[in-house]
Amino acid sequence: MTATHRIRTGLRNLVGDDEFFDLQLLLLLTVGALIVIYMPLVNETALRVIFTVPLILFIPGYALISLLFPSKDQISPLERIIFAFGMSFALAALIGLMLNYTPWGIRLVTVSATLCGFSWFTLIVAYYRRALLDPAVRFSVSYGRLVRAFGAVIAIPGPDRHRFLSRLLALSILLALATTVLVMAVPKDGEKFTEFYILGENGQAAQYPRKITLDEPHHLLIGIGNHEYRDVEYMIEVFGVRVNTDAIASTTRIDSMQLLDRFSLSLASGQELERSYAFTVDSGEFNRIDLLLFTDDVPSDDIWGMERIAASYRNLHIWVATTS
């Protein structure tokens, strides 16, 4: 038995029934995605990108299309692929919106687990619906058919010149795939930026503390993502601010500003951090809470008001009403 035959036999045994190769392969890929996302050390390698990109951009949509259209006569294979990408984008956005209103919020762990769970369930139901059909009408993507098609390109009969061109085409396809994987695994430095955001206490982009009781703790979730391609020492300042807005003149003026807290966080390149944070307010004059993020250059305490906010690298605020 040749090495190629052993590989083909092993892969066929791994995925089982040849006619359901596509569904079984995607099921294995979702398992692999969970492993590389959650397993320590492995989740820091390029495998995380290689497995999670199909999980977000292709697998959920293909699973749903396979469930809805189990017959080969309903839509063409090209339409399946196109719809799979479009449907995956829509499903990822919809799942993210739904998670935002749950106690778990939008995080890599929750999004990936939900996408995997949805894909598993949909693939299993698609497998069942396809199995109910007559083999003559059911859609299938067999491993053997893919190997034979690629083998036909490699060993097409004809003059040596045609055979050489065919092999060159096959080699070009392999090089293109390898280049794609390499670009995904070792991306060059892109835009340098820092994510800075706040969430409600339950990890949602809602339920912020709007009504502030004086001298009582109120909670936020502060998130920072370092995409500066270097280690960064961040400084965060929290202010209580009294803002006066003139709607007629379309102007905003800061009447008073009090430093409530100041703390630093060190993040390595590529590191993301979410930290629970509690703050208290002791004055009823404030109607806004401002969070200012600084990196290398923190201005002196002489710089205040709008000038200090403008000097920050990133700034966020929430409007509040204080009660005693």
Q: Which residue has the higher pLDDT, 59 or 9?
A: 59
State mean pLDDT over 120-137: 88
pLDDT recorded at residue 16: 46
Domain boundaries, the chain: 3-154, 193-323
Both tokens of 177, joined, read 């795939």
pLDDT of 167: 58
Give the pLDDT score at 261: 94
**pLDDT tens digit string along 230-265?**
899 999 999 999 998 877 767 788 999 999 999 999
pLDDT of residue 223: 92
What pLDDT band is residue 149 in, cutting at 50, 70 and 90? very low
Q: What is the pLDDT of residue 144?
A: 58
Query: How confident is the model over 275-303, as pLDDT tens digits?
Result: 999 999 998 899 999 999 999 888 998 89
Q: What architecture does CATH give domain 193-323?
A: Sandwich (2.60)
Determine the average pLDDT of the residues in 205-220: 89
pTM to 2 decimal places: 0.50
Pairing of strands 211-213, 218-227: unpaired
pLDDT at 150 exceeding the cut of 90: no
Within its chain, how far is the Cα of 189 from the centroid? 19
Selected residue with higher pLDDT from 226 and 178:
226
User: How far, in Å, CA of 148 to CA of 7, rounded?
Assistant: 14
Mean pLDDT value of segment 306-323: 92
Residues 6+ apart with CB under 8 A from 314: 194, 196, 292, 293
Nearest alpha carbon to residue 106 among 96, 119, 116? 96
Which pLDDT belongs to residue 169? 52
Please give the pLDDT value at position 11: 43
DSSP string, 148-188: HHHHHHHT--S-HHHHHHHHHHHHHHHHHHHHHHHHHHSPP
Confidence at residue 246, expressed as pLDDT on a 0 to 100 scale: 76
CA 228-233-236 angle, to 5 degrees, is 105
Residue 221: in which H helix or E strand, if any? strand 218-227
Q: Contact, 209 vs 218, CB < 8 A?
A: yes
- Is the dihedral angle over the CA atoms 146, 147, 153, 157 positive or is it negative? negative
Lowest mean pLDDT among 80-94, 210-224, 231-245: 80-94
Residues whose CB is less than 8 angstroms from the CB of residue 162 and which lie 6 or more positions away in sequence, other chains included: 156
Tokens encoding 182: 């390499």
In whole angstroms, how far apart are CA 81 and each of 65, 77, 101, 173, 197? Answer: 9, 6, 31, 19, 36
Rounded to an integer, the average pLDDT of 128-153 is 69
Average pLDDT (145-166) is: 50
The DSSP bridge pattern shows strands 211-213 and 321-323 to be parallel
CB atoms within 10 A of CB 314: 17
pLDDT for 101 equals: 74
Give the model's pLDDT for residue 269.
87
* Residue in the block written with tokens 């919809």: 94
* pLDDT per position as a tens digit, 7-54: 444 444 444 446 787 888 888 888 888 887 777 777 667 777 777 788
Cα–Cα distance measured from residue 63 to residue 118, given in angstroms and rounded to the nearest whole number: 9
